[in-house]
Amino acid sequence: MEDRRSEKLRDTLAQKDDFLRVVLVGAIIALGINLIAAGLFALIPATYPITLSLGLTIAALGLLYLTKLVMNKRHIRSTFTAFLIYDPEENEIVPIKEYAFAYDVEKTLNAAFLENNALKTIWEKERLRQRTTSKDEQAESTLPSDNEAAQVDNNNELGSPKPAYITLTRGEAGENLAEPRSAIILNEAIEFVVLERLSTHLADYFDDYPDDDKYKKEYKREDVPSLLLQNRILSLLTAPLENRAVFVEQTFSKEPPKGEIVSMMGSDGSLYQRFDLVLPNHTQISRPAPGILHFESERISMTLKASYQGFSLYIPWDFIGFYVGKNPEKMRELLVNISVDATIRRWGLFRNRGWNYYRWIDSFAESLERFASKDVFFERINWDALSAQLFVSNRRAKAKRRGLSNKPSPEKAAPTDNELNNHVQE
């Protein structure tokens, strides 16, 4: 199972409200107790300074403890794993039915290669390589080829195929393995897909807000020049239509579409997506490293990560063979790590108004998990039950084929009684 964690902003805000209620109720109770205690200690005034100091110390410790509980919940995190299936022979990402993440990555790569021959050449010349299933283990596979697997060891009296071995060694994965530039292209496509998912979610979330709302802002291409310089696919697929040859004919047609074009897809695989992110005002957007997008606002600091780092993961072979329709021995399964991390600023936590401009973080994390998570996808298609059905169907088909092969052919059919009697008389 994948490492799925989810800590929500709404839970933190709910705990903050609980904290304020506890403080208020505590203050009322303390006032009542103080009045009672004042009456009791009035009989012994000499202890008043000591009692006051002790009371203040206890109250301060309690308040500090409650504050710490709330501060520890300032961090919001959602993390999960996605996957892609790579066909080395065709040198392409395989689209998977009902798995939108794989479909969108494959579509994005094809659209980029259609317009940028340099990216296509790099993808073809420097093909993807895999490291291992984890950062701490390296796998050296001595699996035989198809021809070798078919050969029989002459020294093996049982005539069984030669054994195959997989050796695991401890060490730093990919220590002497330079990352091919095709992996960089794949990560730019993954980043584009996730960013486009964020753009769509934000547009839907703020759709009911007035256009002149001073607490939100629509960030466009010209507002984030650093992102365009660092991600070639993002820069290419969000470029204005009039600057792209594949869309010039459509752009300058006699009857262009009315209104602002948000998205356009061609039958040849060409793709245009308008870049826009509706965010709380004064939000700063940066890309500190490939596959990492950072959003800094007045109340919350959020980091969105999505990247393929050269590692693989386990995908059931029957899924690849029956559901995807590919030979599992020839496919490579690529691990993609995705996470949404947010931290509420210390003093921003105690603001009561304006949190509706930030609650999209929870809904986006949930939407992104439904969109890309491997576990959620397998649960949605009910793979456990489907796999069992495929296994039983496969066993029945094999049994049926064996039964047909064991039936005598018409030329060798068993003789009838009359044929036997004639044979005896002869």
Give first-to-last CA distance, the chain, whole Å.
75
Structure tokens at 285: 């957007």
Q: What is the pLDDT along the chain (426 residues), one digit of tens a residue?
A: 445 555 555 565 555 555 565 666 566 556 556 655 665 566 555 555 666 666 667 667 666 766 666 666 678 889 999 999 999 999 999 999 999 999 999 999 999 999 999 999 999 999 997 654 444 444 433 333 444 333 333 444 444 455 555 444 454 444 445 678 999 999 999 999 999 999 999 999 998 888 888 889 999 988 888 888 889 999 999 998 888 888 877 665 666 667 778 888 888 899 999 999 999 999 999 999 989 999 998 888 999 999 999 999 999 999 999 899 999 999 999 999 999 999 888 776 667 787 888 889 989 999 999 999 999 999 999 998 988 888 888 788 778 777 765 555 555 454 555 554 554 444
For the chain, what is the total number of helices (H) and then of strands (E)?
A: 14, 13
Beta-strand relationship, 92-93 and 137-141:
unpaired
Check residue 409 and give its pLDDT.
52
- Rounded to whole angstroms, the Cα distance separating 109 from 190 reads 9
**How far apart (Å, rounded) are the C-alpha atoms in residues 138 and 174?**
8
Residue at token pair 């576990």:
375
Cα dihedral 76→81→82→84 (10° resolution): 150
CA 13, 18, 24, 29: dihedral to nearest 10 degrees?
A: -170
CA distance 97 to 311: 23
- Candidates 351, 349, 209; CA nearest to 280 is 209
Q: Do β-strands 5-6 and 166-170 pair in parallel, antiparallel, or remain unpaired?
A: unpaired
In whole angstroms, give the CA distance from residue 141 to residue 143. Answer: 6
Degrees (nearest 5) of the Cα angle 79, 81, 86?
155
pLDDT for 167 equals 47
Q: Which of 363, 371, 361, 316 is nearest to 338 (CA)?
A: 371
The string of DSSP codes covering 250-270 is HHTSSSPPSS---EEE-TTS-
Rg (CA), the chain: 32
Q: Please, which residues bridge with residue 170 across strands? A: 137
Instruction: Enter the pTM of the model.
Output: 0.72
DSSP H or E stretch at residue 336 = strand 332-344
192 C-beta neighbours (distance < 10 Å), count: 28
For residues 350 and 216, give the distance between their C-alpha atoms in angstroms, rounded to a whole number.
20
List C-alpha distances in Å: 94 to 109, 332, 376.
11, 10, 19
Residue 106 contacts residue 93 (beta carbons within 8 Å): yes
Place of tokens 């060891």: 153
- Alpha carbons 350 and 366: distance in angstroms, whole number: 25
Which residues on adjacent β-strands are paired with residue 166?
141
CA 139 – CA 411 distance, rounded (Å): 54
Structure tokens at 213: 């709302």
Instruction: Give the span between the Cα atoms of 107 and 97, in whole angstroms.
Output: 13
In 3D space, the residue among 92, 97, 77, 101 whose CA is nearest the CA of residue 336 turns out to be 101
